[in-house]
Chains A and B, each alone.
Chain A
Amino acid sequence: MTTATLSAGTPQVSAHFPSHKLTFLGAVRGEAIKFRTLATNWIMLAVTLLIMVGMGAMFAVVINQMYESALAAQEAVATGAAPVAGPTVDNVYNYARGIGDSGMMFGSMLVASIAVVFIGSEYASRQINTTLTTVPRRTATYLAKLLVVSFWTFFIGFISAALSYGVAQLLLDSRITEAVTVNGDVVSNWVAVGLYCMLMSWMGLGFGTLLRNNAGGIVLVVVVMFILSIAMNMVAGASEMIQDFVPYLPMALGQTFTTVGVADDAAITNLEAGLWLSVWCLIPALLGWARLALTDSK
């Protein structure tokens, strides 16, 4: 600790920096440094990637079995038997195209936690005081965080989906891999997984900012994603209205959003699902912004 400068009577202070101004780009760069200099974030991203790719591999095995039964059913129908319920060969091909989203539910929970913690732990450690002193414009701070977290979560979602697809090619039945090629549908699925993770991070950042607390933020995400779905499904028998609403719950929307082979005349198309999901995630993001921008940081 004892250094020459410390003992020296006068600390050297270099020239003033009149030309340096606070910019939004600077705020984004600051948040980017903050994100990548925390070991936890790297660990969580790595775990997300591993789990999603692992789930993709498991699902490849499932698809192989589905394929066998679909083929058997097809032959049975060809010999005159009555068609049985279950996925057709074409369905299975679409499952294989969309294999990138196998671990999405899992991954998105981790991704949302990363986002909650990105702001929640600033409050826990009082880093937020330093952050808001350096960048006193609340909206700039919030948007900078949102951008950084969106970038990383989209990136990890997309990469995980693409890698899952790649790994699955090694495990899938060769007849499936021959029939399935990387086309627009497949790439759309990867992009959709990335977008889903990104939207989850909005929800996470929003709830984290709203509650200023890691635990609270994560619990709220769990409530909206999982508990709401389970609860609505439980009481769905009570009324048609609830049954109509169930497909618009965030988890169901996420599944629709990434599914390959949704018919053009489906009740909810991929795009519509994505838009509704954005609404679900924008609301917490806006609430978080309001809390940060309009109230004291105490």
Chain B
Amino acid sequence: MLEVRNLTKQYGNQAAVDGISFTVPDGRVTGFLGPNGAGKSTTMRLLLGLEKPTSGTALIDGKNYRSLPSPLTSVGALLDAKAMHPGRSGRAHLRSLAVTHGLPASRADEVIEMTGLTNVASKKVRGFSLGMGQRLGIAAALLGNPQNVILDEPVNGLDPEGVIWVRNLARHLASQGTSVLISSHLMSEMSQTADDLVVIGRGRILANSSMQDFLALANNDRVLVRTDERDDFARRLKERSVAFDAVETDGLLVQAPTRDIARLGVDAGVLLHEIIPQVATLEEVYMNMTRDEVEYQSGEFAGQPTPEIATGTPWGTTADKEN
């Protein structure tokens, strides 16, 4: 179990992490979300004792990381890809970590096999691709078969197969009673992996809840309706003071229960050939929540209008449907 209490880390005048508290319970996958520069990596570094907190505590199973008798079997961590010497082979890297805790050399080979690096393990890390470096980092995190796992952007640079593998790994570890903390800014990925979510922006906690509760925050009662007689139907909606927006040439986004819309169509004699309830995705909820909290806002390309974030529109959700 990982516990963060009133954790603050200041660099000069700026607080990278500002009084955050959350726990990562055993047997659950906790997603750690936030825009770039929100303080995710700093929090993880504080958990691992790589930096000293300005105030507050970050505990691993109730202990300070630096005072753990067996860090490698308590916490497995992937901080950033290729945090390893480029001139050493992957196998040598893992063995150098294993012997510190007296783990057998065969354990290094086991995690190499688990991460699919068997063919390249004796090559120098220098020649590894980002994805291979990421796998080696995950291998190192699994080396001690730890009680807690901390993964910072684990799917970064992985091929689709690797992404699925990481997802399965996280679920599997949680099912074995391990506590798993995964940071990411890939929302769609997180929605399929995490049980709980901690959302952070500018060093502060924006949300800390289960995935379902989080999604419930979203505006879920919009329905996409398509009809050949849009103007007619729109007039009917207006008569009944139902809120709606026009979408494309033949669509309407209506703020009403599906059943009521269908009933209205029948009553009006208008053929509705699509009635689709719009389920908000994690991405949308997250975007709405963090829009003002991002440290680095993307610039607009010159001369182009900024597209609205299309909450609930079909083209706004396609990315998630593909997953």
Contacts and interface: CB of A to CB of B under 8 A. Distances in A.
Q: Do A and B come from one complex?
A: yes
A15 B145 contact: yes
Contacts of B96: 30-31, 33-34, 37
B97 A297 contact: no
Given A5-B116, A6-B162, A20-B70, A130 B84 contact: yes
Interface in B117-144: 118-119, 131-132, 140, 142, 144
A2 B161 contact: yes
A132 B50 contact: yes
Contacts of A21: 69-70, 101-102
Nearest to A41: B87
Contact of B172 (A11, A26, A136, A296): A11
A17 B101 contact: yes
Interface in B85-108: 85-89, 92-93, 95-97, 99-103, 107
Interface stretch (B75-83, B198-206, B246-254, B271-279): B75-83
Interface stretch (A71-79, A119-127, A153-161): A119-127
A129 B70 contact: no
Interface of A is mostly: loop
Interface string B150-189: 0000000001011001001100110010000000000000
Contact of B100 (A9, A38, A129, A135): A135
A40 interface: yes
Interface residues of A, number: 47
A141 to B, nearest CB: 9
A22 B69 contact: yes
Contacts of B69: 21-22
5 contacts: A1-B119, A3-B116, A10-B168, A26-B101, A296-B52
Given A11-B165, A37-B96, A125 B86 contact: yes
Nearest to A38: B87
Contacts, number: 160
B66 interface: yes
A14 interface: yes
B145 A136 contact: no
Interface string A48-87: 0000000000000000000000000000000000000000
Contacts of B88: 34, 37-38
Contacts of A11: 114, 165, 168-169, 172
B56 to A, nearest CB: 15
A26 B110 CA distance: 20
Contacts of B73: 16-18, 20
Nearest to B65: A136
Nearest to A36: B92
A125 B161 contact: no
A23 interface: yes
Contacts of A9: 168
